[in-house]
Amino acid sequence: MSDSVLIDTVDGVLTITWNEPDRLNALTAEMLNAAAASIEEAPSETRLVVITGTGRAFSSGAALGADFDGSATLDGANRLVRAMTRSPLPVISAVNGIAAGVGCSIAIAADITLAKSSGYFLLAFVNIGLMPDGGATELVAASVGRARANRMAMLGEKLPADEAAQIGLIYKSLDDEDYDAEFATLVGKIGRGPTKALSAMKKVITANTLPRLDAALDAELEGQVALFSTKDAFEGGSAFLEKRPAAFTGA
């Protein structure tokens, strides 16, 4: 695996770090599958998983460009979200900045999501003629309700980390200068916790709050693949790369 995603385990903490800061940690299928595999194959002594990013972004979403393979990227994202939610290990997302597109979906798929107050969450899909994926249609509504889920999905507006914490989308937003210390404290507390109890409670809470996550991932995959071939998606992607407003026609 390249240095695009860094994976290491220290003192029972498996840390996955998106490491493409120059492109705001935009995600490829290779990066997503490597992260998923590391969780699926975590050694028995692992007690906790942490996902974070380098630079000023957690992740800006899928790596769009001439070589973008939408289906493969979506498959990788779905695999990672399933690995995160099915793993018996607690998963923490340490959101160090921007969490957009499928990066937002992954950030909130964790059991606990901590963010810097300078960061934000954004379901940017509508801005490029697509629909939310990575389980966002289930994850967001389960956390903050249908009205706010529709607001995030249909308006495509930035949700500041402080507001995300206030409405219950994430665990906590912290001033940037306090973030590292509280993150270390949180990792230490959960990492020293009763692993069997944490696993049992995660399994039940996930089952009771995300009962249709698998169905949502499958439905998003079907819907998104269909949207990839639309003129609006082509226009949205072109506008994004050319840094101009998109002109959607409904085709």
pLDDT score of 54 more than 90? yes
Q: Report angle CA 16, 130, 217 to the nearest 5 degrees.
A: 55
Confidence band, pLDDT 50/70/90 cuts, at residue 241 = confident
Residue 49: per-residue pLDDT: 98
pTM: 0.96
Rounded to 10 deg, the angle between the 136-144 and 213-228 helix axes is 130
Residue 216: per-residue pLDDT: 97
Q: Which residues are paired to 116 by β-bridges? A: 174
pLDDT score of 245 more than 70? yes
Residue 160 half-sphere exposure, CB side, CA atoms within 13 Å?
A: 7
- pLDDT tens, residue by residue, 59-81: 999 998 778 888 999 999 999 99
β strands within 149-241, DSSP E: 159-160, 172-174
pLDDT score of 1 more than 70? no
- pLDDT tens, residue by residue, 95-148: 999 999 999 999 999 999 999 999 999 999 999 999 999 999 999 999 999 999
- Cα–Cα distance measured from residue 183 to residue 181, given in angstroms and rounded to the nearest whole number: 5
| Domains contained in the chain, CATH given | 1-175+202-251 (3.90.226.10)
- Cα–Cα distance measured from residue 66 to residue 135, given in angstroms and rounded to the nearest whole number: 25
- pLDDT tens, residue by residue, 160-209: 999 999 999 999 999 999 999 999 999 999 999 999 999 999 999 999 99
Residue 31: per-residue pLDDT: 97
pLDDT score of 41 more than 70? yes
Q: Report angle CA 34, 40, 45 to the nearest 5 degrees.
A: 115
